[in-house]
């Protein structure tokens, strides 16, 4: 068989890859989509965003059932059917897998299942089930995503797991250590706590979720301190010993204090690394950073003009929604849309714990660090009728604005459903809206969305749901 030619080959069928393939096909391109798995959707759908959120939904139901007892409604202690939970989680994934596959068929996109590597700047070989097949292309989009980072000094033990292992729900350990106080660690810690594990978190930094505003983290940290067995900050793991009794973990604080703990399982959640090691990028002449990320411009072009890279392999932030938009931009550039570029004013981040934390644009801490002037409107949910009715008053909504123009430059929310609320702030940032635009927009009452308008009204000096004394 001779080489098979396509106008565009997309390597990787995750959120960015299939979005890029679909958009390119819609624009008239002949597309081959390559992925090492038969099911499309990538890590996000199959082993990340979607299954974790499905399990977090169950965790929230369990937590809400316990909390609501204080309001006069008591449920029986929940019983867990892990096999049934696992089956339901897999059904969620399957439904979405099938939807993506059907959309690929509807767009006449060709597919190849296997591991791809470059042979030259215009060709790849895919190791498929029936052997190697060579493909040539005019353009290529690399969207191979990332994988959990490992700590090489840790022993090889099935009880030391990554996020992939945690999401498989093989069993619920009596005790679980989470290494890394970042989003995936805290999300999975929340799930396993709700399912009955004694959860301990260790984080080398002085606060959970480094990079998020400390004042947004405080309500979450307060709740997790109550829920989890222990949270060790400014502490690192220096050694893990494994034996029949469990995993003995040795800790060291920044003050050089040492202590040990015994755990049934350890979840390593210390970041992710790009999936570029099997691509043979050097054969295509593609430049990477010291950490293995592919360098791209605002068109998502690599150092080779007709080869594009999107998503996690291009570096932080490693977020599915960022990859999706990058994929569409790359497809449009390939289809000769000269105006297409990836130049967002902000990219939203959401931590799907309970309470949720969401932010977009620079944080207050970043603005202070960089010496950028700003004004702030911060509305406490203790003054929100909807939050009070939900018994969820720990939250707050914060808008950061330019002091000269009042234009919104950043927004941060902590509280239930913060991830759903952040969209309005994102739209304001992208459209160049000012605080007055938000404050004058009529929001439904009673709703948590009102807190966004309330925060804007504080900046405008028009707030009536709080009394703020006038400065003299």
In this structure, are 141 and 278 located in the same domain? Answer: yes
In this structure, are 315 and 238 located in the same domain? Answer: no
In this structure, are 434 and 289 located in the same domain? Answer: no
In this structure, are 90 and 134 located in the same domain? Answer: yes
Regarding beta strands 4-11 and 131-142, do their DSSP bridges make them parallel or antiparallel, or are they unpaired?
parallel
- DSSP letter at 97? H
What pLDDT does residue 70 have? 86
Average pLDDT for residues 85-92, to the nearest whole number?
A: 93
- Alpha-carbon span 256 to 258, nearest angstrom: 6
For 147, residues 6+ apart whose C-beta sits below 8 A from its C-beta are 43, 272, 273, 275
Task: Indicate the pLDDT class of residue 43, thresholds 50, 70 and 90.
Answer: confident
Print the domain residue range for 295: 4-147+273-334
What pLDDT does residue 207 have? 92
In this structure, are 294 and 398 located in the same domain? Answer: no
In this structure, are 250 and 108 located in the same domain? Answer: no
In this structure, are 390 and 324 located in the same domain? Answer: no
- Cα→Cα distances 267→48, 61, 318, 319, Å: 14, 23, 20, 21
Q: What tens digit of pLDDT does each residue of 124-176 get? A: 999 998 899 999 999 999 999 999 988 999 999 999 999 989 998 889 999 99
For 420, residues 6+ apart whose C-beta sits below 8 A from its C-beta are none
Where in the sequence numbering do the catalytic residues fall?
Answer: 445
What pLDDT does residue 315 have? 94
In this structure, are 314 and 365 located in the same domain? Answer: no
CATH of the domain at 424: 3.30.390.30
Would you say residue 401 has pLDDT above 80? yes
Residue 210 domain-assigned (yes or no): yes
In this structure, are 385 and 438 located in the same domain? Answer: yes
- If you average pLDDT over every residue of the chain, what do you get? 95
- Alpha-carbon span 289 to 452, nearest angstrom: 39
Q: What tens digit of pLDDT does each residue of 9-30 get? A: 999 999 999 999 999 999 999 9
What pLDDT does residue 338 have? 83
Domains in the chain, number? 3
What pLDDT does residue 3 have? 78
- Alpha-carbon span 147 to 153, nearest angstrom: 18
- Residues 267, 161 contacting (CB under 8 angstroms): yes
- Residues 469, 402 contacting (CB under 8 angstroms): no
Beta strands in 212-333 (DSSP E): 230-232, 235-243, 246-253, 258-263, 265-268, 272-274, 307-309
What pLDDT does residue 238 have? 96
What pLDDT does residue 5 have? 97
Average pLDDT for residues 306-322, to the nearest whole number?
A: 96
CATH of the domain at 199: 3.50.50.60
In this structure, are 76 and 42 located in the same domain? Answer: yes
């Amino acid at each position: 068989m001779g080489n098979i030619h396509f106008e565009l080959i997309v390597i990787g069928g995750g959120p960015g890859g299939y979005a890029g393939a679909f958009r390119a096909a819609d624009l008239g391109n002949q597309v081959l989509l390559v992925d090492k798995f038969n099911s499309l959707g990538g890590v996000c759908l199959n082993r990340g965003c979607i299954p974790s959120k499905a399990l977090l939904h169950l965790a929230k139901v369990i937590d809400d059932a316990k909390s609501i007892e204080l309001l006069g409604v008591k449920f029986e202690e929940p019983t867990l059917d892990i096999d049934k939970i696992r089956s339901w989680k897999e059904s969620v994934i399957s439904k979405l897998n099938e939807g993506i596959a059907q959309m690929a068929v509807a767009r006449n996109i060709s597919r190849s299942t296997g591991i791809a590597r470059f042979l030259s700047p215009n060709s790849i070989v895919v190791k498929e089930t029936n052997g190697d097949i060579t493909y040539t292309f005019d353009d290529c989009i690399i969207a191979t995503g990332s994988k959990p980072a490992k700590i090489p000094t840790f022993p090889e033990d099935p009880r030391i797991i990554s996020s992939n292992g945690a999401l498989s729900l093989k069993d619920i350990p009596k005790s679980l250590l989470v290494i890394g106080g970042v989003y995936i660690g805290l999300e999975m810690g929340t799930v396993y706590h709700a399912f009955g594990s004694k959860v301990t978190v260790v984080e080398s930094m002085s606060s959970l979720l480094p990079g998020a505003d400390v004042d947004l983290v405080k309500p979450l940290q307060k709740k997790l301190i109550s829920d989890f067995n222990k949270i060790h900050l400014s502490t690192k793991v220096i050694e893990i010993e494994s034996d029949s009794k469990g995993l003995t973990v040795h800790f060291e604080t920044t003050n050089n204090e040492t202590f040990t703990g015994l755990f049934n399982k350890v979840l390593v959640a210390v970041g992710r690394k790009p999936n570029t090691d099997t691509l043979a990028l050097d054969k295509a002449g593609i430049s990477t950073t010291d950490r293995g990320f592919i360098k791209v411009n605002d068109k998502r072009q690599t150092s080779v003009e007709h080869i594009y890279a999107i998503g996690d392999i291009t570096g932080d932030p490693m977020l599915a929604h960022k990859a999706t938009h990058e994929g569409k931009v790359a497809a449009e550039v390939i289809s000769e849309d000269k105006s297409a570029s990836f130049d967002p004013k902000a990219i939203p981040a959401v931590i799907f714990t309970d309470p949720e934390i969401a932010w977009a644009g620079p944080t207050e801490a970043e603005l202070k660090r960089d010496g950028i002037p700003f004004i702030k409107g911060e509305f406490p949910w203790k003054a929100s009728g909807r939050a009070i009715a939900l018994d969820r008053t720990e939250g707050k909504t914060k808008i950061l604005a330019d002091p000269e123009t009042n234009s919104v430059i950043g927004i941060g929310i902590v509280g239930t459903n913060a991830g759903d609320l952040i969209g309005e702030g994102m739209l304001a940032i992208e459209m160049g809206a000012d605080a007055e635009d938000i404050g004058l927009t009529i929001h439904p009452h009673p709703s948590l969305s009102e807190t966004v308008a309330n925060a804007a009204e504080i900046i405008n000096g028009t707030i009536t749901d709080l009394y703020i004394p006038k400065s003299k």
